[in-house]
Structure 1
Amino acid sequence: MTVEWSSEELVSGKIIVLFYVDPDESELNNHVSDALKAENFPKEKYGSIGMANMAATWLPNFAINMKLKSKQEKHKTTVYVKDLDKTLVKKWGLSDDNSDVVVFGKDGSVLYSVDGKFTDAQVKEIIKVVWDNLD
């Protein structure tokens, strides 16, 4: 079953962190998702989306689905979406074959964005951005 996702879901009154990831780079920023999870942000004010850039890999879909299932079990409140056509690369200019992380404000505006592997300083920055914008 295919479910359509819309970027309008980013305007939810919550802070949303989007992980847009080439499945070949799925482990690159695990330390970021783990750090965000450890903060225990209030669920009514914070959400996260994991989006797999399916067109960026040669991995078979069954292997990607297994990875997504494993991530869903670890991050139960995260919504997982598949981008089959590199839509966010083409329309938003996110980097391809990489791991992009974008923080959206309650109104859908971009508050913070990093392409590629996060440094320790950037992990601290993203946590601060989320906390500073929850209220």
Structure 2
Amino acid sequence: MKKILQLSISFVLIAFTTISVQAQEKSTLKRGDKIEKVDIRDLNNNDAVTPGIGEKVTLIFYPDPDKPSQNEYFIEEVKKWKFPEDEYLAYGIVNLADSPYPNGIIRFMTRQVRKRSKQEADALILTDPKRFIQDAWNTGDCNNTFPILLVDADGTVLFWKAGELTKEEVDFVINEIKNSVSESHKYTEEEMAQFAL
């Protein structure tokens, strides 16, 4: 009788664990989900709201400061393209909550990074000190990753990945942007040279 009770408890626990994992997987952000704007912070720790959501095709970089170069290839590839500013917006939101470093130091260092090139000098960079993005958009765990999110002008997710993009995924995201705006232009090498310091 005791063994039957133990087996019954084991089956219940296994079933509960399986259901919990499946529910968690289903609730994670995916293509086709719709997102709304989220209250976050800017680089000076002032109130800010995620711009572009529901208005423009929006590309969001959400890096953990511990993994600043995980999607460097993607960033370099997307910088080779010009899209209409009235239809497209790209920016970063630094995931401060998953870093062991003090928020003030990360904000300062991020301001310095923007000085690497003329193209990055005007880049919009916001911060998320308390996992506001992860909670609002059900992204799942973003610790030690450099997630990439692309949404259309209605706020519908076209692409989401918390981790390094493959070359195929890089091409897919750039093509999704090109297909979602009225025009696109790939910079020539000469045009790219104008952004160098």
Q: TM over 0.5: same fold?
A: yes
Partners of 1:47 and 1:78 within 8 A in 2: no
Tell whether the 8 Å contact from 2:58 to 2:88 is kept in structure 1 after alignment.
yes
The count of aligned residue pairs is 134
Aligned counterparts of 2:113 and 2:88: Cα–Cα separation in 1: 18
Q: Point out the structure with the larger strand share.
A: 1
- Please tell me whether residue 68 in structure 1 is matched to residue 110 in structure 2: yes
Gaps of 5+ in 2: 1-43, 183-197
Map residues 8-19 of structure 1 onto 2, 5 A cutoff.
Answer: 9-12=52-55, 14-19=56-61
Provide the TM-score with structure 1 as the length reference: 0.86
Structure possessing the higher radius of gyration over alpha carbons:
2
Could you say which structure has the greater relative contact order, defined with CA pairs below 8 angstroms and 6 or more residues apart? 1
**TM-score in terms of structure 2 length:** 0.61
CA distance in 2, matches of 1:134, 1:48: 13
Q: What do residues 54-83 of structure 1 show as CA deviations (whole Å, max 9, x unaligned)?
A: 010112334422442244334244321110
Contact in 2 for aligned 1:22/1:54 (Cα 8 Å) = yes
Residues 30-41 of structure 1 aligned to structure 2 (within 5 Å): 30-41=72-83
- Structure 2 CA distance for aligned equivalents of residues 113 and 26 of structure 1: 18
- Cα distance in 1 for residues equivalent to 2:72 and 2:111: 15
Map of 1:1-135 to 2, 5 A cutoff? 1-7=44-50, 9-12=52-55, 14-73=56-115, 74=117, 75-94=120-139, 95-97=141-143, 98-135=145-182
CA-CA distance at 1:84 after TM superposition: 0.7
Checking the alignment, whether the CA contact within 8 Å between 2:62 and 2:146 is kept in structure 1 is yes
User: Given that residues 111 and 129 in structure 1 are in contact (C-alpha distance below 8 angstroms), is that contact kept between their aligned partners in structure 2?
Assistant: yes
Task: Specify whether residues 50 and 8 from structure 1 end up closer, same or farther in structure 2 by C-alpha distance, changes over 3 A only.
Answer: closer
1:42, 1:9 → 2: CA distance?
Answer: 13
